[in-house]
Amino acid sequence: MILVDSLYINNSGGVRLLEYLVSTLNRRNIDFFLLADSRCMGRFDYCKRIQYMKASLMGRKKFYQKNASSFSSVLCFGNIPAPIRMNVPVYTYFHNINLLTLSEAHGYTDMTIMWLKRAVFRYYKKNTDYWIVQTENTACELCKNLQEKENRMKIFPFYELPAELCLQKEKSHGDDYVYISNYTGAKGHEELLDAWEILHNRGIIRMLHLTVPSSATTFCEKVQKAQNRGVKVTNHGFVPFEEVLKLYKQSKAIIYPSHNESLGLGIVEAITAGCDVIGSDLPFIYTICKPSAVFDPFSPESIVNAVCEYEKGGMPQSELLIYNQIDELIDLLIRA
């Protein structure tokens, strides 16, 4: 029986990925036990073997000590390796690259929290046999920041793409640009908005669609001020996937100014939907796709130049370099 330890996974993309993993394990009739975060109470009740637990280092350790002989392999899905050394193979799925670096921390509190989290990874890394990551870029970051060895990295990108998204590629697209992403300091929204204002001032008028939730009040206010100056930008806030499909259909390219990504699902979705990618000239981009154009994400002027070049036409169509390997990941856990 496989243990899927998903403590500390309780919101947004992490939960969606966990749901996809669990549903695939069920579809393949794999015998597994799910240790789920109590903040997801009720969400996985359809699992045959499940225990909800408050996410704490002490409680997690007690669970492992009590049940150590019950499992044939372990998948730690919440970034943190097992709290004790097991006698069966342990794989730790790492999918939050910003926890590895302090470069995106703002202020003393953020810096301290991120430093402590990285210290936890370093302390427990002796208890995992392998790290599972989505891209070669994330593997490199783990090796660099946790002084890990390359032979302890296994790359298995996996994600779920709705059938409607794949059908979108065959449809005609509008002339807009889009950036489907939540707002964080590492996503590059500020530089992108500044670039769009520069484009507007130069008479290059194109609509930019954003999906920043209203909770990012300061940035949303900045968008409103840009709109008042005539800049063609629309912030749709958080939108359901049906609306995301419409935004892809209205757009010819996704602008992706993120500073780093564990995967970059927005890029995968956009190319699958038939959009090109104009993205950051950083290593993570090239492990996901062949973009149509790139820019320095810290320079609004560089973003402007990339958009202008793309507008001239003749740029190569973006090409996806990864594919969904969830079955290969599950096969690894079974063979362990």
Supply the CATH number for residue 147's domain: 3.40.50.2000
Backbone angles phi, psi at 136, to 5 degrees: -65, -35
- The answer on 184 and 140 residing in a single domain is no
pLDDT band at 203 (very low <50, low <70, confident <90, very high): very high
Host domain of residue 216: 164-320
**What is the structure's pLDDT at 121?**
86
Q: Does 142 have pLDDT greater than 80?
A: yes
What is the pairing mode between strands 319-320 and 289-290? antiparallel
- The answer on 177 and 139 residing in a single domain is no
- The answer on 147 and 75 residing in a single domain is yes
**What is the structure's pLDDT at 11?**
81
Q: Which amino acid is at 287?
A: T
Q: Domain for residue 106, yes or no?
A: yes
Write down which residue in 132, 155, 178 finishes a domain: 155
Percent of the chain with pLDDT over 70: 97
The more confident residue out of 117 and 46 is 46
Digit-coded pLDDT (tens) for 279-324: 999 999 999 999 999 999 999 999 999 999 999 999 999 999 999 9
In angstroms, the CA 5 to CA 126 distance is 17
Q: Which amino acid is at 28?
A: R
Mean pLDDT over the full length of the chain? 93
* Mean pLDDT, residues 243-265: 94
In angstroms, the CA 83 to CA 93 distance is 15
Provide the 8-state DSSP code for 318: P
Q: Does 186 have pLDDT greater than 70?
A: yes
Write down which residue in 128, 155, 182 finishes a domain: 155
| 158 contact partners, CB below 8 Å, separation of at least 6 | 17, 20, 21, 134, 324, 325, 326, 329
- The answer on 119 and 69 residing in a single domain is yes
Give the residue from 251, 300, 250 showing the smallest Cα distance to 280: 300
Percent of the chain with pLDDT over 90: 80
pLDDT band at 103 (very low <50, low <70, confident <90, very high): low
Q: Does 105 have pLDDT greater than 60?
A: no
Contact 317, 168 (CB under 8 A): no
Coil vs helix vs strand at 248: helix
Give the residue from 208, 302, 288 showing the smallest Cα distance to 253: 208
- The answer on 186 and 44 residing in a single domain is no
* Mean pLDDT, residues 141-163: 92
Contact 82, 64 (CB under 8 A): yes
- The answer on 103 and 41 residing in a single domain is yes
Q: Does 262 have pLDDT greater than 90?
A: no
| 218 contact partners, CB below 8 Å, separation of at least 6 | none
Distances (CA, A) of 174 to 178, 206, 222, 318: 11, 11, 26, 17
Tokens of 317: 């169509």
Write down which residue in 155, 176, 202 finishes a domain: 155
Backbone angles phi, psi at 199, to 5 degrees: -60, -45
Coil vs helix vs strand at 158: coil
Q: Does 104 have pLDDT greater than 60?
A: no
pLDDT band at 152 (very low <50, low <70, confident <90, very high): very high
**What is the structure's pLDDT at 107?**
65
Tokens of 129: 């046999």
Digit-coded pLDDT (tens) for 14-26: 899 999 999 999 9
The more confident residue out of 162 and 223 is 223
Range in 75-79, 163-167, 331-335 with the lowest mean pLDDT: 163-167
Q: Domain for residue 197, yes or no?
A: yes
**What is the structure's pLDDT at 208?**
98
**What is the structure's pLDDT at 101?**
66
Q: What is the reported pTM?
A: 0.89
- The answer on 217 and 143 residing in a single domain is no
Provide the 8-state DSSP code for 148: -
